[in-house]
Copies of this chain bind each other. A is one copy, B any other.
Amino acid sequence: MSNRMNGQWLLASRPQGMVKESDFEYVRTPVREIQAGEFLIRNLYLAFEPAMRGWINPEESYVPPVQIGEVMRSATVGQVIESQHPDYAVGDYVSGTLGWQEYAINDGQPGMMGAVSKIPAGVPPILLLSVLGATGLTAYFGMLDIGKPQAGDVVVVSGAAGATGSVAGQIARIKGASKVVGIAGGQQKCDWLVNELGFDVAIDYKHEDVQQRLREECPAGINVFFDNVGGEILDSALLNMAQNGRIVLCGGISAYNEAELPAGPRNYMQLVIRRCTMQGFIVIDYLAQAGRAIADLSGWIASGELKHAEDIQHGIENTPKTFMRLFEGKNVGKQLLKIADAPIS
């Protein structure tokens, strides 16, 4: 029996309104021995995304809720440190959905969120949590399959400094959008979008009138609006859509921590007047096509056309605090938490 102890963050209670640290509980439990067909993973990075807030509500959404007392669900990358499985060798890097914990035992079988997968040699593991993982795939399929930007289109992205929004906007530009406008909170994020990522314009929703700025910047209307935010920002975009425009519903972070479901988009009948489509999607429906997306995304990274950013915090003790950064608007790019160095070099 190993003496390893596993630091784990469990869901302690269902948050009322804004999620807080006390909604989770930190415990340390012994790691059992692995059996034939199993392998032991040391998690190195935890990944955070706004949709996780929905996983801890009591209602089933596109996945069952995390139960009280369960390890909080999240994407992870880690390294195999023991193995009795023929396909996973000690030293292999793997990505999966192994949750807020230091160690995990796995058998390679698909779980609720798919199977653990080996990270090819030469690929920086954290990219599997950001631009080459579910986040990048969400941006890719949401923008290309739902948004369908055409050469010359005006594309607007909300939550543009987030992990998904920042990639989605750049993909639109790569596909020939004539103008890419990002909406983000604060001057620092806006400067980053324009100066580093090549967005044409950034609108600071904390200090500017989004509806008026969209009217100024998109006088012929928005062809594609990629929405991560909802609320007033969605309503402002609805008033500025071009005829036959597409709204990609990716997320609605403005409402995720509301105790009561807030009112919906007041201006939704603009979809009729302007003959627009508003369509939701979930990236897990596209996993069979992931290879094509990863090939494209890798190619754009290699050519310098696509930039990515990770906001890396440190220490498993900071796990809930790092999750809360998403809702405090603190992250630029993908929010990650490093909880260990790779034990095997």
- A interface list, Cβ under 8 A from B: 61-62, 230, 235, 249-252, 255, 261-282, 285
17 sample A-B contacts, Cβ–Cβ < 8 Å, listed by A number = A62-B272, A62-B274, A235-B264, A249-B269, A249-B271, A263-B263, A264-B266, A270-B280, A271-B278, A271-B280, A272-B281, A272-B282, A273-B282, A275-B281, A275-B282, A277-B279, A278-B278
Distance of A224 Cα from B273 Cα, bound (Å): 20
Distance of A251 Cα from B268 Cα, bound (Å): 11
Contact B266 A263 (CB under 8 A): yes
Copies in the complex: 2
Contact B285 A280 (CB under 8 A): no
Contact A62 B273 (CB under 8 A): yes
Distance of A250 Cα from B276 Cα, bound (Å): 12
Set of chain B residues within 8 Å of A273, measured between Cβ atoms = 61-62, 280, 282
- Least CB distance, A207 to chain B, in whole angstroms: 26
Q: Which residue of B lies closest to A62 (CB)?
A: B273
Set of chain B residues within 8 Å of A266, measured between Cβ atoms = 261-264
Set of chain B residues within 8 Å of A282, measured between Cβ atoms = 272-273, 275
Closest 10 CB pairs of A and B: A263-B263, A272-B280, A264-B264, A271-B280, A264-B265, A277-B279, A264-B268, A264-B266, A278-B278, A61-B273
